[in-house]
Structure 1
Amino acid sequence: MPISEIEVSSISDLIEEILQRGRELEPGRFFWFRGLSRRSHSLLPSIMRDGKSFDIVREREERLLARFRQRSIAYWKEGYNQTLWDQLFSMQHYGLPTRLLDWSENLMVSLYFALQSRATDAFADADPPVVWCVDPIAWNRATPSLSGYGETIHVLTTVNEEIESYEPMSNRRQVKYPVAMFGSHNSDRIVAQRGTFFIWGNSTESLEEFSESDVDANLTRFVLSGSPADLFKDLQKLGFTETMIFPEMSYLAEELKRTEGWRA
């Protein structure tokens, strides 16, 4: 179905739009959010953004995963169960390309990522930041490969049999459509950012392309038409600062320098 696009000029307008849609959700349903610094950026995992075929994507992911497993052993906590899924989520967390696409259960987290790199832009240009919104349960139930399960399908986890075809290094034939799943909260960042994921199958199409063709689920793009710099300041006034998103010492230092007015 066509993607809904709504223009908002303030954080309060964005919140009201989300709340209005939330009131129409059935009990037990919820939204996920993803912020992008440019409207032109696609909802596509990093490993697929250079237009290579899925066979090349699979080969790349398997090699990266094998090398990551070999080299990361010394950095894992003693006794931690290092499954392939855990390794894949860690790769995503540390910036290695995977078939995963990050989302968040927290609207303000997604807004932070939409605005962070645009914080010095006085005016929104022809390619403004955006926040995407999706009902992940509706998406999974509308996905052709899962639609036959009806209302028994929710957000998938790593123990669901429906996710087996998406497993890293799996010999099973991968299915076409991306699906929404919960991942391992094996880092402080994922916990703080309320991280969730979509994982891709054997197609390199973007989420928008799937939504516009044969996945009849409501995917909404909120275009932030106000000044990105002013919106980012408003977000910080609401308490969504560096350490809320990145609970690490280096970001604490950045936050203190900013709040204390340090300019050197």
Structure 2
Amino acid sequence: MPIIEQEVEGLTGLLSSVLQISKDVPQDSFLWYRGLPDQGYGLIPKLMRDGKAVDDVFERERRLLTRFRQRSVAYWPAGYPQNDWEHLFAMQHFGFPTRLLDWSENLFVAAHFALNYSPLKRSVETLPAIWCVDPIAWNRSMPVLSEYGESIHVLTTSDDEVDAYRPETTKRRNKSPVAIFGTHNSQRIVAQRGTFMVWGNDARTLEEFANETDGNLWKLAIRGDRSELARDLAALGFGETMVFPELPALATELSRTEGWRK
């Protein structure tokens, strides 16, 4: 189906639209959310944004995984990643370029990323946006999984169907990006209710795939003053530590909420 695009008014309009979308998806489905500060940004993993050939992408991933594994041991007091998938999930949430694209099961996490980060400078004003996807419908619409019909849900890293997406695979790689649950091996992933899509052997954007399939994808551009919208989100109790449960985030949150005290 084509991508459904809407403009909504503030957080109330966003919530109303998302609730309506959730009513329209099948009863056994659910939504994931991704927030972007600019509605013009495409849905594509960081490692695949510079136009490099796919072979170069996987070679760079191999090297990054090796270097991360070599140098990150001292930073893990517990829950050290044990395999390439677990390393990739941890790397994604600490800013490394990977073939993963972050999503969240929590709408307000997505809203935080849409409203509290500035877009790259553009000649015209842009709106922040929330993307919504039905991950089950998405997977069932991908050619590589469609033959399995309703037996396919969100994949896990133990499913045979993800073998062709593994960093270390020797199999022929699949093209279609698919929705997967990841290992919650960092406090950030836990706090952000993190989920993922992983790309295969095709570096096109998710939008391009959506226009060729029946994958359910919605884009909600949020009208309103960006600073006021961010304050509205904070007024609902959704501050920095809800997304980053770390001392730097606590410092930012307390500086904002207690800054008036002299």
Query: Which TM-score tier does this pair reach, normalised by the shorter chain?
Result: over 0.9
Q: For each residue in 1:149-186, what CA deviation from the matched residue of structure 2 results, as whole angstroms up to 9, or x when unmatched?
A: 00000000000000010011211111000000000100
CA distance in 2, matches of 1:4, 1:216: 12
Deviations 1:220-258 (A, max 9, x none): 000112111111110000011011111111111111111
Partner Cα distance (2:252, 2:51) in 1: 36
Query: CA, structure 1 residues 78+17, in 2 after alignment: closer, same or farther (shift >3 Å)?
Result: closer
- Cα distance change of structure 1 residues 77 and 170 upon mapping to structure 2, 3 Å threshold: farther
TM-score normalised by structure 2 residue count:
0.94
Instruction: Kindly provide the amino acid, as one letter, of the partner of residue 234 in structure 1.
Output: D
Aligned partner of 1:71 in structure 2 is 71
Tell me how far apart the structure 2 counterparts of residues 245 and 57 of structure 1 sit (CA, whole Å): 29
Query: In the aligned structure 2, how far is the partner of 1:50 from the partner of 1:80?
Result: 30
The 1-side partners of 2:35 and 2:126 are apart by 14
Tell me which of 219, 232, 253 is aligned to 1:234. Answer: 232
> SS of the residue aligned with 2:183?
coil
Quick one: distance in 1 between partners of 2:145 and 2:170? 20
Aligned to 1:151: 150
Structure 2 distance, partners of 1:256, 1:104, is 25
263 and 63 in structure 1: CA distance in 2 versus 1, 3 angstrom threshold: farther
Q: CA-atom RMSD, angstroms?
A: 1.7
Q: Distance in 2 between matches of 1:262 and 1:82?
A: 46
Aligned to 1:33: 33
Partner of 1:117: 117
CA distance in 1, matches of 2:62, 2:237: 40
Alignment gaps of 5+ in structure 2:
none
Map 1:90-239; keep pairs closer than 5 Å: 90-118=90-118, 126-213=125-212, 215-239=213-237
The answer to whether the 8 A contact 1:8-1:224 is kept is: yes
Q: How far 1:263 sits from its partner (Å)?
A: 10
Which moves more between the two structures, 222-231 or 29-38? 222-231
1:131 CA drift (Å) = 0.4
Q: Say whether the 8 Å CA contact 2:164–2:171 is kept in structure 1.
A: yes
**Displacement of 1:60 after TM fit?**
0.5
8 Å Cα contact 2:79-2:185 kept in structure 1: no
Is this contact kept in 1: 2:81–2:87, CA < 8 A?
A: no
- Cα deviation digits, residues 64-94 of structure 1 (max 9, x gap): 1111111122333467461111111111111
CA distance in 1, matches of 2:68, 2:140: 33
Task: Tell me how far apart the structure 1 counterparts of residues 104 and 78 of structure 2 sit (CA, whole Å).
Answer: 29
Mapped to 1, the partners of 2:57 and 2:78 lie a distance apart of: 32
Question: Does the residue aligned with 2:52 lie in a helix, a strand or coil?
Answer: coil
State, as a whole percentage, how many aligned pairs show the same letter: 55
| Distance (whole Å) between structure 1 residues aligned to residue 78 and residue 194 of structure 2 | 24
Q: TM-score, normalised by structure 1?
A: 0.93
Letter in 2 for 1:143: M
Amino acid at match of 2:125: A
Q: 1:246 aligns with which of 241, 244, 247?
A: 244
TM-aligned CA distance change 1:71 to 1:19, over 3 Å: same
Checking the alignment, whether the CA contact within 8 Å between 1:211 and 1:219 is kept in structure 2 is yes
What code does the residue aligned with 1:18 have? V
What amino acid does structure 2 have at the position aligned with 1:220?
W
The letter for the 1-side match of 2:74 is: A
Q: Which moved more, 1:110-119 or 1:78-87?
A: 78-87
Unmatched 5+ residue regions in structure 1? 120-124
2:53 and 2:16 map into 1 onto residues whose CA distance is 41
Output the CA distance in 1 between the equivalents of 2:261 and 2:34.
31
Shift of 1:217: 1.4
